[in-house]
Amino acid sequence: MVQNKEGDVIPVIGLEVHVQLETDTKIFCGCSTKEGVEPNVNVCPVCLGLPGSLPTLNEAAVRGAVKIGKAIGADISKETSFHRKNYFYPDLPKGFQITQYDEPICTEGEIEINVEGNRKRIRIERAHLEEDPGSLQHVSEGRGKEDYVLVDYNRAGIPLVEIVTEPDLRAPKEVRLFLAKLEEDLEFLGVFNSNRDGSLRADANVSLIRIADVNEDGTIDKKILQSAERIEIKNISSYKGAEKALVYEISRQKNTIMHGGEIKQETRHWDENRGITTPMRSKETEGDYRYFTEFDLPILSGEWWDEYIKNIDIPELPEAKRNRFYEEYMLTEEVAAKLTSTKDVSEFYELVVEEFDPDFAARWVADIILGELNYRDIDIGDVESRLDEFRRLIAYVAGGKITEKNARSIVLRRMLDEGSSPEEILDQEELEVSDDKEVRDFVLEVIEENKDAVADYERGESNAMNYLVGQVMVKTKGNANPAFINQILKEIIENGGGEKKELQ
């Protein structure tokens, strides 16, 4: 395919995303998946591929894959089996990787992304279970030259789900949005931990297709896709990296075409540090892998399998939750998004909103508590045992026991910095809101002392009211509710203004 102008083509992108399932043990043996340990300690005869050892399927990994399938609206296969994918590489002790081939656990799903306000459906071709290989560490003893390679089998046998999309993505930015959405859903499912190193890795296929070959509905005929030269980019380890790698690769291909060169089908490596892709090897074909059935593992099928799939439930996903918060609690989209940013935050909000007004609860959870936590670099999950203390503090504010200002700037901060309970702090500090009688006396004093401002207010200057409220706040040393002062001020001024009329 030779083009003269770069504007004549658009990128067609498909992804293979490898997701590490959050399990305690590996997929085919009982070895721990714990990170941050010495190399080659989480190993056994099975994951080292020693002769005579046999794999056992980890039920937690199967459950995680079914959950992912349900979350992406995929069909969970009535029958699913494992295959051996043969290739020789030092990180693969058995000489083959156990994966799934013609009977993957999930087929035909979809993920919807929001591209500048428009919904876009990205079809998922399949999702299957497989084991991760080990990891290689290239060592240089100086001058940048690689002297030797070390291999660590701690990762060998870590459970992965590989999610394969149809080539429905049309821009690097869409890839970023897709991966971010996927990651968010996976975290809510509780099957994935984005803090783990290498927990989400992607390979991207990209071809340039003539705009003239794109159908009106945005689809592209299979024949055209098959004849296009496809470049596969390996080693993308984050969704921001994915966008960068594709921006680079697409402009490289366009430049090659513009200068009369040709794009050849190949596999390229994304070099995150240098921000470029480099040629790796010509892409293997399926035949090179000599797939054959892994007879040491059971085929999952039959009545018990149907029943097993049926009994796996998934929680409400972030987008559905966001829409529900928006509708049910009448929050703005921005606040609803903040409150569903993580599962823990959304659960805390739902706990608080049971008792209080939705807007008030949202301000306390999204702005005040999250704000103070973020400032201290604490996740809400880290203070799970104290959520009831936060709820009690919010109740004191709602009940008028203390002002919002003091609750935030004194009590909440001390709670977080000293670990005290709200009651302990309330006992130590004099923060109880002034009673009605006291506030009314201060209001009368302020009216007496600020006759000009009262007159301004009566002429319709609303700023004057803010000033008067401020003056009363000063007298109460901040221990009164501004809305309450506002109400009393209006009541007294409208009942005769500065004539110091006694109301009680």
Q: Which is nearer to Zn ion, 31 or 113 (CB)?
A: 31
Site string for Zn ion, 30-49 (x = CB under 5 A): -x------------x-xx--
- Asked if residue 95 lies in contact with residue 49, where contact means CB atoms within 8 angstroms, the answer is yes
Total of residues contacting Zn ion (CB under 5 A): 5
* Using rule CB under 5 A, residue 61 touches Zn ion: no
CA distances for 21 relative to 106, 129, 130, angstroms: 15, 10, 10
Q: How far is the CB of 55 from Zn ion (least distance, A)?
A: 9
CB count within 10 Å of CB 59 equals 10
Site string for Zn ion, 371-410 (x = CB under 5 A): ----------------------------------------
Q: Which of 17, 29, 72, 209 binds Zn ion (CB under 5 A)?
A: 29
Q: How far apart are the first and last CA of the chain?
A: 90
What are the DSSP E strand ranges found in 8-117? 9-20, 75-76, 79-80, 83-86, 96-99, 106-115
Q: What's the rounded Cα separation, in Å, for the pair 36 and 270?
A: 25
Q: Which is nearer to Zn ion, 82 or 305 (CB)?
A: 82
Q: Which is nearer to Zn ion, 31 or 426 (CB)?
A: 31
Q: How far is the CB of 29 from Zn ion (least distance, A)?
A: 3
Q: How far is the CB of 198 from Zn ion (least distance, A)?
A: 18
Q: Which is nearer to Zn ion, 133 or 167 (CB)?
A: 133
Q: What's the rounded Cα separation, in Å, for the pair 345 and 240?
A: 24
Q: What's the rounded Cα separation, in Å, for the pair 476 and 501?
A: 21
Stretch that binds Zn ion, among 25-33, 327-335, 338-346, 428-436 (CB under 5 A): 25-33
Q: How far is the CB of 23 from Zn ion (least distance, A)?
A: 13
Q: Which is nearer to Zn ion, 154 or 476 (CB)?
A: 154
Q: How far is the CB of 46 from Zn ion (least distance, A)?
A: 5
Q: How far is the CB of 84 from Zn ion (least distance, A)?
A: 17
Q: Which is nearer to Zn ion, 46 or 71 (CB)?
A: 46
Q: What's the rounded Cα separation, in Å, for the pair 270 and 113?
A: 25
Query: ∠ at Cα 424 (422, 427), nearest 5°?
Result: 105
Q: Which own/partner pairs from 346-351 qualify as long-range (CB within 8 Å, at least 24 positions apart)?
A: 346/318, 346/321, 348/380, 348/387, 348/390, 349/325, 351/387, 351/391
Q: How far is the CB of 82 from Zn ion (least distance, A)?
A: 17
Interacting residues with Zn ion (CB under 5 A) = 29, 31, 44, 46-47
